Structure 1
């Protein structure tokens, strides 16, 4: 039986609910609903006009309704009067197929038919920058190799502590916070969970970080590459598949600790990586991070080729420990739901077709890539990844051709808008258009 949000509001003294959804561009949309109206909203949903968001609808389309998921409820730690809820979009009595949370739940349902659950964790990198977005917030953060710099980390102690305290209160299990490879860049890690919970938390995390940064007079950005000479914002995902309490990816007898199922799942991800770059690297700015030249620190920490390895960060996929793999392709602009949905759809393709990922490569891919001229390369720009996605029969089948076409149509319109004003050249500075349109992604 579903939790009664009206009763919970009384118990927890919640006065308002944010009923939220994420559109195809990853924008978090919400309505603020008074607690005395939540009973009706829980069953009927909050009304939205689809054309007002990035969902490939017209003003003539019927209203859509966000049906809140009571299990996603988060009482804002910094404002207890408000409860946040993720919702699923419905229109004319049916789920909106081209809405990201619905897309993810569709893939989860397919995996559930096999008696399996995908568990995942994400590593979210972000910059703390000035309010105008032109520079990092800390002028003293100037080291050429600033990763793990204690002084720079502790100068932001109050802000980072507040975010981490919130995660502790919400029982996410945060376990480390650090200064990342770029000046002004940070990462915060929390425990893995089932992929829907991780996507909901990822969505809320981005909102929380931006909100608390503003409270401290700063701005937080998850933009893939806000500064030309600094390492970009990645959003690595750690993936495993379970049957009840048993990790089906784990095989202690294997050299890398992976089962045959894990390798097949991995094979599906590798086979579909170029196409899914459209989901994982969805902005024009994303392609400044992929195939990027070395940054100020000496390495971009982002992949350029489609390859996998053991505990080696120069490849697209790393196997750091037995029973899981890390996909390092995604960046900070990735839609939290499409990130998980893309991995799951590709993995299912691998399982169904028993795809062999080939042998792992144990080399420094940043230096040795010329030794592997036949290794598939990742797309160089958004237009290329969209073309790959359009022609990927498996992804069209998994998500529905209309849904894929809607995503491609909307992203292509953004490319056209950019091309009217700018020209993409990753060797030149980040354009004004990119900053204006991606800093708050």
Structure 2
């Protein structure tokens, strides 16, 4: 039974609803709707001009409506009279195929048609920086190896504890918070869940972290590589696939290598097969490739992959199998669209199941120290343009993600690359002004 948002507003004291959707570039778009109007909005949706966001539309397109999915509603813990709710984009009573949440829901439906139920978790890293974005916010956070730094995390206790308190209040099951490998960088973990719920929580988490940081006079960024000498922001994705009612892990088989079942190996095989293309979605910005192809950082490691390899419990590879019945994709970064990241993982994995794909040789070496010894594994793209070309050439993955989505995404992302390529940088002037 669908939750009545008007009744929810009366029960919770909600004055406004923030009906939100995420566009192709991961930007969160919203309208603030008075509770008195939410009944109509729940039926018809909040109206937007699609061209005014990063969707492949023109000013001549009809109104786009974000229809709230009441099951996703979250009362803002820091502003109790406002509730956030994820919207599904429709136009002229038809689902907008290119919209990221719709794209994910199609993949979920495809998995369900095969009797499978996907559960995921994310590790969303971020920096707390100065309001102007030029430096980390804590001038005392200078250690060469700051990961798990007790003093540094306590200097940001007010921000971290406030966010964690909110996740506890929301019932997300947060279980640890830490200072990450870069100065000024943090990570907060919560329990894995149904893949759509995880994507909605991921989207809301980014909104919440930024809001709380601003409340404390700081700025939070999930930018993949905001500082050249420091480790970048990853967004590791933990994946498991279950039976239809979510009671039995279809990836788990204690008799198999690393406890990963035959189905799990084929799903992983799909990730490996399509890695050079799916990176266009898991690492979607120009800046992303400065993280996955970074030189050694101040701490001594980038913690990011640059080669398509998998392993057991070893963090130097693209995919890690840390325990039975699941794997961790370490490729995505902080710019990944919460919905598209999950959608492309499912699409690639399901293709691997259909094709009975083999994930290939397992490597247990330290890729940072001995990666040069691996000569038969593909390298990840060096830049966004190469990633987009790989995605465009991968007709199986494009088709699985949907032709309308793929066409729109490639068009807008090529436009982004062209804007970057035409930009005159400070480096260019330094290198060539006197030639």
Q: Which TM-score tier does this pair reach, normalised by the shorter chain?
A: over 0.9
> What is the match of residue 433 of structure 2?
none
SS at match of 1:84: strand
Matched position secondary structure for 2:127:
strand
Partner of 2:25: 25
Query: Counterpart of 1:342?
Result: 344
- Which of 275, 299, 302 aligns to 1:300? It is 302
Q: Does 1:55 align with 2:55?
A: yes
How far off its partner does 1:405 sit?
A: 1.7
Give the Å deviation of 1:422.
3.5
Matched with 2:238 is 238
Q: Which residue of 2 aligns with 1:274?
A: 276
Cα 1:147–1:394 shift into 2, 3 Å: same
Number of the residue aligned with 1:435: none
Deviation at 1:402, TM superposition (A): 2.8
**SS class of match (2:259):** coil
Give, in whole Å, the separation in 1 of the partners of 2:250 and 2:376: 32
Cross-structure match for 1:389 = 391
Confirm or deny: 8 A CA contact 2:148 2:180 kept in the other structure. Answer: yes
Question: 2:181 maps to what in 1?
Answer: 181
Please give the per-residue CA displacement for 1:84-107, whole angstroms capped at 9, x wherever unaligned.
Answer: 000100001110000000000000
The superposition leaves residues 211-263 of structure 1 with CA deviations (integer Å, 9 ceiling, x where unpaired) of 00000000000000000000000000000001120011001112301000000
Q: Residues 371-386 of structure 1 correspond to what in structure 2 (within 5 A)? A: 371-386=373-388
Matched positions, count: 428
Q: Shift in Å at residue 368 of structure 1?
A: 1.4
Post-superposition shift, 1:399? 2.1
Q: Return the alpha-carbon distance in structure 2 between the equivalents of residues 159 and 314 of structure 1.
A: 30
Segments of structure 1 that go 5 or more residues without pairing to the other structure are 429-441
- Secondary structure in 2 aligned to 1:319? strand
Aligned to 1:433: none
Q: 1:363 aligns to what SS in structure 2? A: coil
- Correspondence for 1:289 among 275, 288, 291: 291
Q: Once the 2 structures are TM-superposed, how far is the Cα of residue 425 of structure 1 from its aligned partner? A: 8.2
Deviating beyond 3 angstroms after TM superposition, the runs of 4 or more aligned structure 1 residues are 422-426
Q: Secondary structure at the match of 1:25?
A: coil
- Counterpart position of 2:262: 260
TM-score (norm 2): 0.97
Equivalence for 1:43: 43
- In structure 2, what is the equivalent of residue 327 of structure 1? 329
Once residues 154 and 296 of structure 1 are traced to their aligned partners in structure 2, the CA distance between those partners, rounded to angstroms, is: 22
CA distance in 2: counterparts of 1:3 and 1:422, whole angstroms = 52
SS at match of 2:87: strand
Q: Deviations over 1:384-427 (max 9, x none)?
A: 0000111111122112223212111111111111122246989x
1:152 shift after superposition: 0.1
Q: Aligned partners of 1:361 and 1:29: how far apart in 2?
A: 42
Matches within 5 A, 1:69-84: 69-84=69-84
Stretches of structure 2 that go unaligned for 5 or more consecutive residues are 431-435
Cα displacement string for residues 321-353 of structure 1 (whole angstroms, at most 9, x for unaligned residues)? 111000000000000000100100000000111
> What is the Cα deviation at residue 149 of structure 1?
0.3
What are the superposed Cα offsets for residues 136-186 of structure 1, whole Å, 9 maximum, x if unpaired? 000100000000000000000011000000000000000000000000000
Aligned partners of 1:31, 1:327: CA distance in 2, in Å?
A: 34
Partner SS for 1:421: coil
Distance 1:253 1:297 in 2: 38
Deviations 1:340-393 (A, max 9, x none): 001000000001111011221110111212212221000000000000111111
